[in-house]
Structure 1
């Protein structure tokens, strides 16, 4: 009885602690970021005990890298991002990490990053290198995008209905090569990005319609390389005719606008039962979803013990951006910024795509744990003195049941300082100093104006501005 009471008290304490999501436990840090209080955000980041845990090292490095980027410490930013890259190259997790996930919950495992988060590391690193006037390293980052794209493609065998490519990163790769005056590789990257859109329904890839700027870049760089057949092909596909123009004397600015903040993950509960379907197969169902139990083994899973399973799963919650659109002016032209990446849509759709697989693994794991609890409890019945129940075994069984029920927690971690969307524009520059006016349109009529000073030197310049609310 004492064991049962102790396990109950422990379970209640565990339940109160486990109710808090990652967002709840890092809310002060993200609030300071959204408010633009970067110094205070850094303080909150440095003292956050959850992010300091070894299993969250990748997440901490990505947040540190983003924070340093926002404050203009581009060298420091890339130190963090390079370390994050090294972690990803070495591989995260392992057998013991997987065991922790089985015995405790996925939130206790090493954070391995969402696929689109890995691409965003290259985005910030490339910008950092350009701001440090280190074009060679920026080009190295462009090559790393190719490697990341190949890895992503191999992961899903380049299936069209999975996130096997990142169109924005391929377009960024083209911009990086063009910034290094390599128009041949720029064309290849632009073409690869355009082809991703062309194979998507209605040329819309994960919430982003193919940008007009990308269409023009494919055709223009085909012309500059003398690839007449490629130029003609894409002119027909895009219903555009390219007319050569004299390059602006001061070069061009690639202006990125990072609008809003990425969605957050919260925990959602499901209650499944293990049953036989009409074909005699074992499946889990909650009345809406039917998840096959592919690895069902009667020797490991006692069906009588799996009458009901409480399952938790992460679900994204969107944070709609405060601003709805933007234009940029160089004094002669007013240019609308186009959406280039929709991280909000990516997050929701990629999570949906892996729902069945991950839910199946979770249910199988819980079914095995549930059987162990059942057997332990049953073994204590009538096994004590004079045929009475064995209090120790029964108490341990109930304690294990309570622990399993209350320790079950989904992984609600994600890189939440990423933008909701990334928009961009290509802006002609004059020789010398240029004043660029970025006008953000608020949903409620409250606009914001940002003035940017850019030195036109004849090449391609980059600038990113974040409105984090």
Structure 2
């Protein structure tokens, strides 16, 4: 007859193998049918797949479900419905907190079991889509409210870090969008302030580049023009020097202007990568060392009593950590063309670069938490295994439980590979004058080999700013 400890161990091994099978699957792979429909541009089918996904119906993935619903319904031109989901996402972000149970799930299992709370740049993109939805619905007042919320979001980003250098502490693209919204409502004073904030974000960055993006020429023109319209002559002179550009007065087009946002490609997906560390005990406590000799501090927020342990007891850790895998877009350039004018779109937001860079910036902090999580599991194993007991059955049981914890730690270790993956890889924009009445517009997309794809549409020149966004998903 199989003894209880052995039977228990067999059960744990079987469970561990099941865990291994699921732990090798990333978030992207688990809902691949939805993402396949998105990449094919079949948003109606994607919406159905979204509702069928059991993974996205789980409480811990509530925010991702709301973001994807907002994005998909926006693409289906269901703008009221889209904002319904984005408003729910906004509310969720404000209300969600890491409670004790959520933190425990992250410590004892893996961070995929915790509630997804969103990346900072994902929160900015909520405002982008909400503002466009309101503009398309003709709800200018609501769009202006969204513009004001962009300021609050950037303030939260700025307050997040003591060291603002090389940190995602403000988003110039969101300020540019804010300026365009204010200008479309004829609020030139606030439009200038927003454009100025965007320009200064670039000017104050290293090499005057913000996460790989140089200041768009259109932004320079908008800063100078709105400063002049407000009669801020000192500001005109100041920015002429800063931007090395002379302000030139141009007569406004009779039909106003068209602002086109080109959403190029799809955001990077998260994959899992493994790192190997050893735990070392120094004069000030425990810390982790990788194979290259790099030190990672122990996370003080993790409950861990290691007074009775030696560093040798907690050697050789494998820890899973996410990395972004970019999906290079097919198209490299977009030209916006009317009968009278032609403008090349300029890159305004690089979500690929933002995602990769911001993840690197918090690597040490998240690696510390992940390693500390592994240490807690290992410590529990050593405590159970190390007790003195002359009873053979009890000893076998303890050894079985210790082995089970070891297997569980090995197979449950998993990186959090969740993110809002239907965002564009990057966003370009262009501003082109319109004639009064109907305007036929073409977007010429070109790949690296010169192959073209053309998007045709028409807009009415009303004398104001008209907005249009187009996503190329290849």
TM > 0.5: yes
2:43 to 35, 38, 46: 38
Alignment match, 1:287: 291
For 1:195 and 1:334, locate their aligned partners in 2 and report how far apart those are by CA, in whole Å: 28
Alignment match, 2:229: 224
Return the offset for 1:293. Answer: 2.8
Which runs of 5 or more structure 1 residues have no equivalent in the other structure? none
Q: Which range moves more in the overlay, 391-400 or 50-59?
A: 391-400
Total equivalences in the alignment = 465
Matches within 5 A, 1:267-416: 267-275=272-280, 282-288=286-292, 289-293=294-298, 295=300, 298-299=306-307, 302-379=310-387, 382-385=389-392, 390-416=395-421
For 1:93 and 1:294, locate their aligned partners in 2 and report how far apart those are by CA, in whole Å: 16
Matches within 5 A, 1:437-448: 437-448=442-453
1:238 to 237, 243, 268: 243
In structure 2, the CA distance between the partners of 1:123 and 1:160, relative to structure 1 (3 Å rule), is same
In structure 2, the CA distance between the partners of 1:300 and 1:197, relative to structure 1 (3 Å rule), is farther
Matches within 5 A, 1:439-458: 439-458=444-463
2:105 to 80, 84, 100: 100
Instruction: Decide whether the 8 Å contact of 1:158 with 1:164 is kept in 2.
Output: no
Give the SS at the match of 1:51.
helix
In structure 2, the CA distance between the partners of 1:158 and 1:221, relative to structure 1 (3 Å rule), is farther
Give the SS at the match of 2:54.
coil
Deviations 1:115-166 (A, max 9, x none): 1000000000000000000000000000110111111111113612211111
For 1:437 and 1:9, locate their aligned partners in 2 and report how far apart those are by CA, in whole Å: 59
For 1:242 and 1:150, locate their aligned partners in 2 and report how far apart those are by CA, in whole Å: 30
Instruction: Decide whether the 8 Å contact of 2:322 with 2:417 is kept in 1.
Output: yes
Instruction: Decide whether the 8 Å contact of 2:253 with 2:435 is kept in 1.
Output: yes
Q: Which range moves more in the overlay, 219-228 or 445-454?
A: 445-454
Deviations 1:304-336 (A, max 9, x none): 321111100001101000101111111122111
Return the offset for 1:378. Answer: 2.1
Matches within 5 A, 1:154-173: 154-157=159-162, 159-173=164-178
Return the offset for 1:301. Answer: 5.6
Return the offset for 1:382. Answer: 4.6
Alignment match, 2:138: 133
Give the SS at the match of 2:56.
coil
For 1:462 and 1:325, locate their aligned partners in 2 and report how far apart those are by CA, in whole Å: 20
Alignment match, 2:429: 424
Alignment match, 1:462: 467
Instruction: Decide whether the 8 Å contact of 1:119 with 1:145 is kept in 2.
Output: yes
Alignment match, 2:3: none
- In the alignment, is residue 253 of structure 1 matched against residue 258 of structure 2? yes
In structure 2, the CA distance between the partners of 1:301 and 1:136, relative to structure 1 (3 Å rule), is farther
In structure 2, the CA distance between the partners of 1:319 and 1:301, relative to structure 1 (3 Å rule), is farther
Alignment match, 1:71: 76
Instruction: Decide whether the 8 Å contact of 2:202 with 2:209 is kept in 1.
Output: yes
Instruction: Decide whether the 8 Å contact of 2:342 with 2:432 is kept in 1.
Output: no
Return the offset for 1:383. Answer: 3.5
Instruction: Decide whether the 8 Å contact of 2:306 with 2:379 is kept in 1.
Output: no
For 1:156 and 1:83, locate their aligned partners in 2 and report how far apart those are by CA, in whole Å: 27
Alignment match, 1:213: 218
Instruction: Decide whether the 8 Å contact of 1:301 with 1:367 is kept in 2.
Output: no
For 2:265 and 2:193, locate their aligned partners in 1 and report how far apart those are by CA, in whole Å: 31
Return the offset for 1:302. Answer: 4.5
Return the offset for 1:408. Answer: 0.8
Deviations 1:271-296 (A, max 9, x none): 1101257x876431222332123648
Return the offset for 1:442. Answer: 1.5
Instruction: Decide whether the 8 Å contact of 2:131 with 2:147 is kept in 1.
Output: yes
For 1:168 and 1:408, locate their aligned partners in 2 and report how far apart those are by CA, in whole Å: 37
Could you say what the CA RMSD is over the residues aligned between the two structures, in angstroms?
1.6
